[in-house]
Structure 1
Amino acid sequence: MTFLALIAVICFGFAVYNLSCAFADIPTQRTSRMMLLSRRQQGVKPEKLLDVYITRIAGLIAPYLKLDKLRRNKLQRALDIAGLELTPEVYTARAWVTAGAVGAAAVLMAFLMPLMTPVLIGLAVALLYSVNLTKF
């Protein structure tokens, strides 16, 4: 029964990934790899796949963020000095998306740890029986 639940969670995650790629116009993994490969061939600094996804999602959220004029100008100057070609809204949205992803990963791990306990116990018992105990 636990195995079926694990298979269902994996299939659900795969489906959510593919649906999010379709609805949010996020490139699939194969397309992203080809984009990264072409950037390497052009001599541009290689980007990480996770950064591509986070920036794309942040670009979708950025139009809904409203920054006051002082904060926006200050952040724009800092981004210009750093040499980043991002708007202040996209930069702020990237921070929110990254924080949300870390939080979601923490919640997911807190949910999966009780499910993984029987698997870890089983692996420990299998390891115990696989070790030759006559040497001790």
Structure 2
Amino acid sequence: MEITVDIESATPMFSQLVMQIKQAVQHGKVAPGDPLPSIRQLANDLEMNNKTVAKAYRLLERDSVIQTKGYRGTFIHPDAMANCTVDLNAWVTKQLRETIATFRKAGVTDSEIRIAFADVLNQPQGG
């Protein structure tokens, strides 16, 4: 599996990594159980910040495309193929669009929506 990052792209580098790893799974270039490079190794290979690679790995692990096995490393998840089609960003965007449309229909201004959204995001989780 070869990963390349276009630093000139409008797509964030972590998103490019996520997309390329998902595509590698979908096209059979990697299989469940296959190892992935460590965060440090991939960051060095791509000449990018470790935090960028770590963010991509966290998102892939959240989506069950990869799994981390402690000191043994990071591997392609057994259910990776089925989980590659999950796009939480698209789902969140759809949900927000629908909610904002409901607010606007009720007469709430965009400014009021922004303030309420920021307030909710700034609240401690569970609150």
Q: Provide the TM-score with structure 2 as the length reference.
A: 0.29
Compare relative contact order (CA 8 Å, sep 6+) and give the higher one, 1 or 2. Answer: 2
Which one has the bigger helix percentage?
1
Q: Provide the TM-score with structure 1 as the length reference.
A: 0.28
Which one has the bigger strand percentage?
2
